Amino acid sequence: MSELVAVGNAGAAIRKANDEGRAGLVAYLPAGYPTIAGGVDAIKALVDGGADVIEIGLPYSDPVMDGVTIQRAAEIALAQGLRTRDVLSTVEQVASYSAVPVLVMTYWNPIERYGVDRFAADLAAAGGAGLITPDLIPEEGAEWIAAADKNDLDKVFLVSPSSTDDRIALTTANCRGFVYATAVMGVTGAREQASDLAAPLVARTKAATGIPVGVGLGVSNGDQAAGVAAYADAVIVGSAFVKALDAGGPAGVRELTESLAEGVRREPRTFANR
């Protein structure tokens, strides 16, 4: 696979940010929270605030890798009757709103239930850019990899501090778009301090691939975003946006996005390993 192809839709957006001398901002909110329509408005606020890539979460009944903030939002969305088709509708509305790439972040079970080929085709038809699959490893993802390639979709797999160099090489070889470096061991969630495992993980990952590496480690403010942007190609933020939505609605989401967008621009740098 050529590097141009491997970069994909989300990767191209991150590369564009890197060409401007800054890290990209990847912003997450779950679909259907606080309502289906309200969720669309909140996700559009991420776009308006300056996010470079959007992650739309597909709420799941057993979110074992998520912290309490995202778990609660998922429970509320599901209790209100959210279905996979509503997530795809949310993707379509956000994708038609701007040119910012829109990914779905999802556990694998809902995709299997929906049908892998069917989901890939429907996601592409809705204008989606691809999937982030936190509980799917490449060795078990042949059906998804084939469906994604057929529909020109990004495939974002995860690496962690416990990943061996061989595991990182295998994972990155199957990624398209960017590599998701989850630099905090345990569940997701905003944290007061950044992990000291993140920068070494990025260095190890970038030694294995030329596609962008995004870091998710509980960033919740502009200062933390600036710190991660000093070494990562993209800064990934999730739980903090759910909290901002709870506190201030879509306006609160946009305000936080603007602060984080300022953070990733604070210290211009040159991006290597292109």
For position 189, which CATH number holds? 3.20.20.70
Q: How far is Cα 43 from Cα 254, in angstroms, rounded to an integer?
A: 9
DSSP character at residue 141: -
- The mean pLDDT value of the chain amounts to 92
Q: How far is Cα 81 from Cα 259, in angstroms, rounded to an integer?
A: 33
Report residue 18 as tokens: 């890197």
pLDDT at site 191? 41
pLDDT at site 16? 97
Domain that holds residue 234: 13-265
Residue 5 lies in a domain: no
pLDDT at site 193? 44
Q: Which of 3, 19, 20, 66 is catalytic?
A: 66
Residue 3 lies in a domain: no
Residue 2 lies in a domain: no
Residue 273 lies in a domain: no
The closest of 58, 230, 39 to 136, measured between CA atoms, is: 58
Q: How far is Cα 234 from Cα 22, in angstroms, rounded to an integer?
A: 9
Residue 208 lies in a domain: yes
pLDDT at site 192? 44
Assess contact for 129 and 120: CB atoms under 8 A: no
Residue 7 lies in a domain: no
pLDDT over 80 (residue 52): yes
Of residues 189 and 96, more confidence is placed in 96
112 is catalytic: no
Mean pLDDT, to the nearest integer, of 63-71?
78
55 is catalytic: yes
pLDDT at site 273? 59
Provide the Cα torsion 107, 110, 116, 119; round to 10°: -100
- At 95-141, the pLDDT tens digits run 999 999 999 999 999 999 999 999 999 999 999 999 999 999 999 99
Mean pLDDT is highest, among 66-80, 182-196, 238-252, for 238-252
Residue 272 lies in a domain: no
Mean pLDDT, to the nearest integer, of 52-73?
87
pTM, two decimals, is 0.93
Residue 137 lies in a domain: yes
Residues making up the chain, counted from first to last: 274
pLDDT confidence tier of residue 272, bands split at 50, 70 and 90: confident
Instruction: Report the phi/psi class of residue 133: left, alpha or beta, with left for phi > 0 and alpha for psi in -120 to 50.
Output: beta
Amino acid at site 152: D
Q: How many domains does the chain contain in total?
A: 1
In the chain, % of residues over pLDDT 90: 84
Q: How far is Cα 77 from Cα 56, in angstroms, rounded to an integer?
A: 13
Q: Which of 3, 41, 52, 55 is catalytic?
A: 55
Contacts of 224 (CB under 8 A, 6+ apart): 194, 263
